[in-house]
Amino acid sequence: DIVMTQSPDSLAVSLGERATINCKSSQSVLYSSNNKNYLAWYQQKPGQPPKLLIYWASSRESGVPDRFSGSGSGTDFTLTISSLQAEDVAVYYCHQHYKTPQSFGQGTKLEIK
């Protein structure tokens, strides 16, 4: 099974500052046949289901603000929020959908400093 490990577990950032969340997979999630990284990022607010932010590691879902961006390839990935807004307080999960069983990171709780 592919294990997804996020860092840090929690993060406090000032409004307007940059927030960076990392995700490492225990094996590569890059599919060589189509050159796609099977890595997604979700945002989950209390009492709500996860919301897809980023797919294929760096493609932004429709309607997601452009302050959210994803990068990385292979086993190491990053979600960046360029200028933190109050509504970005949430738990963020990375998700590999390359191999069965699909798996998620343990989550990173993002708060306002």
Partner 1 sequence: QITLKESGPTLVKPTQTLTLTCTFSGFSLTTSGEGVGWIRQPPGKALEWLALIYWDDDKRYSPSLKSRVTITKDTPKKQVVLTMTNMNPVDTATYYCAYRLGLDDPPFHHWGQGTLVTVSS
Q: Considering only 19-27, 38-46, 70-78, 81-89, which stretch makes contact with partner 1 by CB under 8 A?
A: 38-46
Q: Which residue from 1, 17, 76, 111 is in contact with partner 1, where contact means CB under 8 A? A: 1
Measured CA angle at 99 (ends 95, 102), to 5 deg = 40
Residues in region 41-100 near partner 1 by CB under 8 A: 42, 48-52, 55-56, 61, 93, 95, 97-98, 100
Total number of residues binding partner 1 (CB under 8 A)? 26
Task: Single out the residue of 36, 69, 75, 82 in contact with partner 1 (rule: CB under 8 A).
Answer: 36
Minimum distance between the CB of residue 97 and partner 1, rounded to whole angstroms? Answer: 5
CA 73 to CA 38: how far, in whole Å? 9
Which residues contact residue 81 at a Cβ distance below 8 angstroms, ignoring those fewer than 6 apart? 13, 18, 19, 20, 67, 68, 88, 110
Q: Which residues bind partner 1 (CB under 8 A)?
A: 1, 34, 36, 38, 40, 42, 48-52, 55-56, 61, 93, 95, 97-98, 100-107
